[in-house]
Amino acid sequence: MENLRIERRRDSLGVVFDAETGVLTMIGSSYPENPVEFFAPLYAWLKEFIATVNCPLIVNITISYLNTSSSKCLLDFLEILDKHYEAGGTVALNWYYEENDEDMLETGEELCEDLLLPYQLILLPK
C-alpha cells in the first residue's frame, strides 16, 4: 500500500499514512472548508486498505476543532475502522488532546463511545 497524503492549502486538517509503519496521522487546527470533499479520498483509501492489506493500522488523531459536518465525516471514517475491527482486523486508535482542550476531549469521547474499536484518549505532554 502506498503512502497517503491529503493536505490542501485552504484546509487546516491534514492526513498522512506511512505505509512502512502502518500509522495514519490526522492532525490540524481546524476543520476542512468542505469536509465531505476532504474526507472522500480518505474513505476510498481506507476501504481499499482494508480490502487489500492484512496488517495492523494505527490511527493517531490530533485536531483542535471540529464543526458538525466535519464531526459527522470523522465519525463515518471511524465507523469504517470499527467494522474492520469487528471483522477481525487489527486497529489501534489514539486520540490526542491538549490539557486546555476540554471541547476536543468531549468530542473524542462522544464520537468513540458507541464504537467497539478499542481507543484511548491521550493527554499531550506540555
Domain range for 93: 4-123
Nearest Cα residue to 59 out of 95, 83, 5: 95
Residues near 97 by beta carbon (within 8 Å), at least 6 away in sequence:
62, 104, 105, 108, 121, 122, 123, 124
pLDDT value, residue 9: 56
Average confidence (pLDDT) over 92-119: 92
Give the total number of structural domains in the chain. Answer: 1
**pLDDT mean across residues, the chain:** 88
What is the tens place of the pLDDT at every residue in 47-101? Answer: 988 888 878 899 999 988 888 999 999 999 999 999 999 999 999 999 999 888 8
pLDDT value, residue 78: 96
Contacts 24+ apart (CB under 8 A), 99-104: 99/123, 99/124, 99/126, 101/64, 103/65, 104/63, 104/64, 104/65, 104/66
Looking up residue 47, the CATH number of its domain turns out to be: 3.30.750
pTM, to two decimals: 0.88
Judged against a pLDDT cut of 70, whether residue 8 lies above it is answered with: no
